[in-house]
């Protein structure tokens, strides 16, 4: 099964005693323990949005179930887990449309518009 990228979203109050740094450390530790047990998973990055009281963690794993287990072990609380797609992987569709746009501009310029 191929490895994918998953985004975990968890509620974290601004007044949380341990805070985002501690949550990130627990996330990395639980992923490392799972790797030692044979589950391919790693934390790529985490970030905190204080205004919304949300903490996000980007994982590389084989399934959302593995991310859920890592989250449970790290005591991150219940959160939403979604498959994430790198924008570079979908950017080729946009590039194919560019020549039509350039042609439209060159046609207008040729007519003096």
What percent of the chain is helix, strand and coil (3-state, nearest 5)?
Answer: 45, 25, 25
Enumerate residues 6+ apart whose C-beta is below 8 A from 29: 74
Query: What tens digit of pLDDT does each residue of 60-104 get?
Result: 999 999 999 999 999 998 789 999 988 777 765 544 444 444 444
SS in 3 state form for 25-53? HHHHHHHHHHHHCCCCEEEEEEEEECCCC
Query: What tens digit of pLDDT does each residue of 17-40 get?
Result: 678 999 999 999 999 999 999 999
Joined tokens for residue 84: 């994430």
Q: Which domains does the chain have, with CATH numbers?
A: 4-87 (3.30.70.3090)
């Amino acid at each position: 099964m191929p490895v994918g990228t998953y985004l975990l979203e968890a509620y974290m109050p601004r007044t949380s005693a341990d805070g985002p740094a501690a949550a990130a450390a627990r996330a990395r530790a639980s992923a490392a323990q799972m790797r030692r047990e044979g589950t391919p998973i790693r934390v790529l990055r985490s970030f905190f949005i204080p205004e919304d009281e949300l903490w996000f963690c980007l994982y590389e794993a084989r399934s959302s179930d593995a991310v859920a287990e890592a989250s449970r072990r790290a005591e991150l609380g219940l959160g939403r887990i979604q498959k994430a797609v790198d924008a570079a992987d979908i950017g080729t569709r946009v590039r194919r449309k560019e020549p039509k746009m350039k042609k439209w501009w060159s046609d207008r310029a040729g007519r003096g518009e």
